[in-house]
Structure 1
Amino acid sequence: MKFIIFFIYIPFVYSELHSFMTTYTGIRGQTIAGIPEFSAVTTLDDQQIDYYDSITMELIPKQDWMKEFASKDMWKEDNDIRQYVQLVYKNNIDVLMQRFNQSHGVHTYQRVYGCVWDDKTEVSQGFDLYAYDGKDFISLGVKERRYTESVPQASPTVQKWSDNKAQLGHLKLYYEHECVYWLIYFLKLRKAGFKRRAPEVSLLQKHPSSPVECYATDFYPSGVTITWLKNGVDHNEDVEHGDTLINEDGTFQKSATLYAPLDDWMTNQYVCEVEHMTETIRKILTDNEIKSNNRPTKGYFKPIFCMMGVLIVLVIGAVVWIIKKKKPVGGYNPLSIEDDTYIDKTD
């Protein structure tokens, strides 16, 4: 069985559509030291806000503005839930190995669940997806209150969960209301944890013949405008504007790349103008102003979807499933640990 080891964070576009997502990953059969058999990650707008694994057995806040919330009684309850789910996942993988007639090898069982919410239209949508060995296993249609299996081996689980009508109704209410409540709650908590920050602006170029990038980072809130001026006039030709991306610490970054030929910007004055709130920052394009080769790294490279700051081993198929199923979904754990249907039960 082949493995892939990867770091955790890739850039995602920040928009008015907010996401709140919890990811559970259980692994059986791996023996690499330091790699947990179970891990759980919660993200807000693709930014990790907490982390738990079977090695530390402790739910850890991953943002400074989450530390106050981590001191509340609910944090202990959330930690207990993850410890319980850890035991359930260990049992579930054993059951699924029997269903798939497997006696050895590395196997993964995953769940991605939560909601997205548009802060302008206030429209929300919930998601609840399961995978085994990197392939679709079960999905919940929240509005229809119906589970759907992707493989025959999922039928016994779908039948069991579908028979529990009360739990289906409870989950529908959770994804349509309670999940959105927590999403908005943590958005406000994050906002309160940040003060206004002006952007740090740099002109970047890999080598003398490369385009010049005007790169703004570490600013908050997210609203920023980057404009290239040529001899004092707005210059839109030969300019490519990047998306606004969120950094690991909750601040933002954006860039605008100038593709003008070298002889052109050597004979004309080009200026990058960055407007943020009421502040305007200007950088004149000169050799002395350009930073070459080493681009700022804070928040610039952020890999895929969960377990930030920690190495994780997954079967290649599991990674493929995550990439394929990557949707802006989210959720937190407000439900009781006695609720066996909500906490993953496969058999």
Structure 2
Amino acid sequence: MRLVVLIIVGAHVAHAGKHSLKYYYTGVTGDIDFPEFTAVGLVDDEQFMYFDSNIKKAVPKTEWIRQNERADYWNRETQNMITQHQTFKNNIQIAKERLNQSAVSPQVSLLQKSLTSPVTCHATGFYPKGVTISWMRNGQEHHEDVVVGELIPNEDGTFQKTSTIRITPNEWKKNQFSCLVKHQSKTIRKTLRADEIITNSETPLPISIILGAAAVVLLIVIGVVGCLVYQKKKDFRHFRDPECEEQNQTPHTGPPAPAQKTAEEEKTARPSFTPNLITPLNRESGVVD
């Protein structure tokens, strides 16, 4: 919803010979820091009277009118201005209805950061800004440990407001607490129950789920490390010296076996043996020839 500020201006003019009497009326709707209705009276274009809906009283603005008019005159002026104010309010309401500027109901929520935090009753999106938020305990107004927030404007022209109560979970479970939001469009009651509260706290995960998740993460880490080690070994073998690789691949079973010799070489290598001839023994002389 986009807020539209309506301003209605009226004038009343009277002439008497060479003198003139004028009244200017201004009616405003919208949540702005300005009186809803103002009236200014001028004689010969000089202001002599002022009235607005905040002070609800016609006051003199010049010394000569203050000296020449008595209190009953200002009482009549005040009543006339109050009547004009009501007329302007009716006209503004008609204009608002034609422009679809009707009241907008608030949206009410119960908020809590955690199970032990205070509970906040949050009303937002309402227009106009007049709203009251109160806490009820077992049907009676409850003011203890209650903090009411400031009225905050939204970007779309609506407003929001909060009221926070500090109670323990056991206390509000044993008693019936509720938040009562009163706006001209609607009265809304929110009972303080667990299913009505919007909270940021999360239910703790079971220990089995936590351990299972940790095991999965550990397996993933081990797998990644194993892949990295395998890849490094593979790259190392790829860049090694081929000759060294070939030598490393030749099996070693002991010292090398001696080379086989040919028959000729074996024969030559054998030591020569010449049998000694035995000289016949001369038995007689005992001398060997």
Specify which structure has the bigger relative contact order, considering alpha-carbon pairs within 8 angstroms and separated by 6 or more residues. 1
Bucket of the pairwise TM-score, normalised by the shorter protein: 0.3 to 0.5
If you compute each CA radius of gyration, which structure gives the higher value, 1 or 2? 2
TM-score relative to the length of structure 2: 0.37
TM-score relative to the length of structure 1: 0.31
Q: Which one has a larger percent helix, Structure 1 or Structure 2?
A: 2
